């Protein structure tokens, strides 16, 4: 019995060993290593871009507001009309301003009459003053010689002083009348200007891009405290620009003169060219509390040469764009020519704990905390790629530069022609280890199952 049990045990162990060998051989034959796709390091031209969204707006967009308040009684244009500088746009009810003008004119005439009357009185009072002065001086000489009585002298003196006071008074009245005339002239001038401004004229050539009022509406005039009611906008649609919001992390890369490719939602599968003409120095904030987003506005003028084919030959003034159209712009900030590149997904970051930098603290540390800080090394994030070499994925540190939508520049760490693992990204970022055996397959077969 014992010999049979021993024989059975040996046979069982042998069967297990054979089964393990079969499984190992089968796994080796099936090559059950992690499947990866590779691509060679090549030289390419890289253009780094920043994507931003916004609206299409005219380069010149003038907001028209009246100088005076009142009721709109006539509108001479409609939205879309082309106007020239000096064309009448809107008329505001002038009746109240006509009355004010006539009143100011009457007031001026009244002040002029008062001045003329005062000047006529001046001639009489000057003659009276001369006579009183002569009598006074003669009587004074006689009084000093004791020829006339004190009463006669006092009478002559009083008449002289009264004549002098009357003369001074009429001269003051003349000055006051002259000041009143100046004030009345200013009031008349203002009334005339107000009456003239009941008609609103176009300040420049362009097209009425927006009409905000209708006949019969009341509008508020502009003042130092208010911009007044916007009645319309006149825009030059021959020159259009994209006004886009760039995130605060990217705005430092944008500069005047950068080129851009602009997509307009109204024209699918087409890109227009533009030039950055203005970069805001102040931020605009949207959202509330912790969800606030800080952006900077960038203006990109569209080059007319990139959309000339959209303008009909028989309509040279036609504009294919409308203010407010949605747009996406790709601003080209940097360029590199003939540099080593790999697909973006080939580059990953891993933590490096080999550094010997210790952190400093402003608080006194206990002995145990000091020991822990000495033992724990700070993590230094570095960039790596996996180089495919004879069935192995070798981890290699690299230094990258700029990137576009598909490729990233490699400054150091790789040579032209080397193969790097480019997929799957989950393996590159987490699963793969240095010198791990892998199976190289075509990207199309990467996720196929037997």
Domain 34-44+341-445 belongs to what architecture? Beta Barrel (2.40)
Looking at every residue in the chain, the average pLDDT score rounds to 83
pTM above 0.75, yes or no: no
Task: Say if residue 238's pLDDT is above 50.
Answer: yes
Q: Report which DSSP code applies to 309.
A: G
Locate 261 and state its tokens: 């490719």
C-alpha dihedral (67, 69, 74, 79), degrees to nearest 10: 60
Q: How many CA atoms lie within 13 A of 232 on its CB side?
A: 27
In degrees rounded to 5, what are phi and psi of residue 105? Answer: -65, -40
> What does the alpha-carbon distance between residue 100 and residue 96 come to, in Å, rounded to a whole number?
6
Answer for the pair 386, 432: CB distance below 8 angstroms, yes or no: yes
The domain 96-196: what is its CATH number? 1.10.287.620
Strands 34-40 and 436-440: parallel
Locate 177 and state its tokens: 């009348």
What tens digit of pLDDT does each residue of 305-321 get? 999 999 998 888 888 99
Answer for the pair 320, 311: CB distance below 8 angstroms, yes or no: yes
Task: Say if residue 270's pLDDT is above 70.
Answer: yes
Task: Say if residue 327's pLDDT is above 50.
Answer: yes
* Assigned CATH topology for domain 62-92+198-234: OB fold (Dihydrolipoamide Acetyltransferase, E2P) (2.40.50)
Q: Is 62-92+198-234 in the same CATH topology as 34-44+341-445? A: no
* Domain coordinates in residue numbering, the chain: 34-44+341-445, 50-56+236-336, 62-92+198-234, 96-196
pLDDT band at 360 (very low <50, low <70, confident <90, very high): very low
For residues 11-38, give the mean pLDDT. Answer: 63
| pLDDT score of 110 | 85
Task: Say if residue 397's pLDDT is above 80.
Answer: yes
Report the SS3 class of residue 448: coil
For residues 24-40, give the mean pLDDT. Answer: 67
pLDDT band at 232 (very low <50, low <70, confident <90, very high): very high
Answer for the pair 67, 221: CB distance below 8 angstroms, yes or no: yes
Superfamily classification of domain 50-56+236-336: Efflux pump adaptor protein, beta barrel domain (2.40.30.170)
Task: Say if residue 367's pLDDT is above 70.
Answer: no
Locate 27 and state its tokens: 């796994």
What tens digit of pLDDT does each residue of 406-428 get? 999 999 999 999 999 998 888 88
């Amino acid at each position: 019995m014992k010999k049979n049990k021993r024989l059975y045990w040996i046979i069982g162990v042998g069967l297990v060993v054979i089964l393990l060998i079969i499984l190992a051989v089968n796994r080796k034959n099936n090559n059950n290593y992690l499947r990866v796709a590779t691509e060679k390091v090549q030289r390419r031209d890289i253009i780094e871009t920043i994507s931003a969204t916004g609206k299409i707006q005219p380069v010149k967009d003038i907001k028209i507001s009246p100088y005076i308040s009142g009721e709109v009684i006539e509108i001479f244009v409609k939205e879309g009309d082309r106007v020239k500088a000096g064309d009448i746009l809107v008329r505001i009810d002038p009746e109240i301003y006509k009355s004010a003008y006539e009143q100011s004119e009457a007031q001026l005439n009244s002040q002029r009459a008062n001045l003329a009357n005062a000047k006529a009185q001046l001639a009489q009072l000057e003659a009276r003053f001369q006579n009183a002065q002569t009598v006074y001086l003669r009587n004074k000489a006689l009084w000093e010689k004791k020829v006339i009585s004190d009463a006669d002298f006092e009478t002559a003196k009083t008449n002289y002083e009264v004549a002098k006071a009357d003369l001074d008074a009429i001269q003051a009245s003349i000055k006051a009348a002259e000041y009143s005339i100046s004030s009345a002239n200013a009031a008349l001038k203002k009334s005339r200007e107000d009456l003239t401004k009941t008609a609103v004229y176009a300040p420049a050539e362009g097209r009425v891009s927006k009409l905000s009022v209708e006949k019969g509406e009341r509008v508020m005039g502009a003042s130092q405290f208010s911009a007044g009611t916007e009645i319309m906008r006149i825009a030059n649609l021959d020159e259009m620009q994209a006004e886009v919001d760039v995130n605060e992390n990217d705005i430092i890369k944008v500069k005047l003169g950068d080129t851009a490719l602009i997509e307009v939602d109204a024209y699918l599968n087409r890109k227009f060219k533009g030039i950055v003409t203005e970069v805001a120095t102040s931020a605009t904030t949207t959202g509330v509390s912790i969800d606030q987003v800080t952006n900077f506005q960038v203006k990109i003028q569209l080059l007319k040469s990139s959309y000339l084919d959209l303008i009909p030959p028989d309509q040279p003034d036609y504009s294919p764009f409308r203010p407010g159209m949605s747009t996406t712009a790709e601003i080209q900030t940097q360029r590199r020519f003939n540099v080593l590149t790999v697909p973006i997904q080939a580059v990953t970051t891993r933590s490096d704990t080999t550094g010997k930098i210790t952190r400093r603290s402003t608080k006194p540390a206990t002995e145990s905390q000091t020991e822990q800080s000495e033992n724990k090394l700070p993590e230094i994030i570095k960039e790596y790629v996996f180089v495919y070499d004879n069935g192995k994925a070798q981890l290699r540190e690299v230094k990258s530069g700029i990137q576009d939508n598909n490729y990233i520049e490699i400054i150091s760490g790789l040579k032209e022609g080397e193969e790097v693992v480019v997929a799957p990204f989950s393996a590159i970022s987490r699963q793969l280890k240095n010198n791990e055996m892998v199976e190289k397959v075509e990207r199309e077969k990467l996720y196929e199952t037997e």
